[in-house]
């Protein structure tokens, strides 16, 4: 689980870094929010997979959609980040797609 979380935080951190620089948003705050969201959502993902291990793909897909929505909401709710709901959803989609895709091909 530590490896998963570390790799996820690293990949999502890079996306946040690029996004913050590109859209001139507060990098540190968005990174911190992303870290907070990851701790919460990765825990939920692990618990769901541990409990429903016989249904890997359905559980993974449902949880990833849930994680995307939860993280969008967290990004949006932290007002100081100056993200609109659309921006928050786009950023969350980008970081989650990146970490999900990388996760499929990384042997960790």
Does position 61 interact with other proteins (CB under 8 A)? The reply is no
d(C-alpha 91, C-alpha 63), whole Å? 18
Nearest distance, CB of residue 32 and other proteins, angstroms: 5
Task: Please report the beta strands in the chain, taking only residues with DSSP state E, as ranges in sequence order.
Answer: none
Does position 6 interact with other proteins (CB under 8 A)? The reply is yes
Member of 22, 24, 57, 84 binding other proteins (CB under 8 A): 57
Q: Which is nearer to other proteins, 71 or 89 (CB)?
A: 71
Member of 15, 23, 24, 42 binding other proteins (CB under 8 A): 42
Q: Are 25 and 19 in contact (CB under 8 A)?
A: yes
Q: Which is nearer to other proteins, 31 or 73 (CB)?
A: 31
Q: 19: Cβ–Cβ under 8 A, 6 or more apart, which residues?
A: 25, 30, 91, 94
Q: 4: Cβ–Cβ under 8 A, 6 or more apart, which residues?
A: 42, 46, 103, 108
Q: Which residues bind other proteins (CB under 8 A)?
A: 1-10, 13-14, 17, 26-29, 31-33, 35-40, 42-47, 49-50, 53-54, 56-57, 60, 78-80, 100, 102-108
């Amino acid at each position: 689980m530590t490896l998963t979380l570390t790799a996820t935080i690293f990949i999502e951190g890079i996306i946040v870094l690029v996004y913050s620089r590109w859209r001139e948003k507060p990098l540190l705050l968005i990174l911190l929010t992303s870290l907070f969201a990851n701790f919460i959502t990765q825990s939920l993902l692990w618990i769901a997979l541990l409990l429903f291990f016989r249904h890997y793909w359905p559980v993974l897909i449902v949880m990833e959609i849930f994680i995307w929505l939860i993280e969008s909401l967290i990004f949006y709710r932290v007002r100081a980040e100056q993200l609109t709901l659309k921006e928050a959803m786009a950023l969350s989609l980008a970081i989650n797609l990146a970490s999900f895709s990388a996760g499929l091909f990384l042997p960790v």
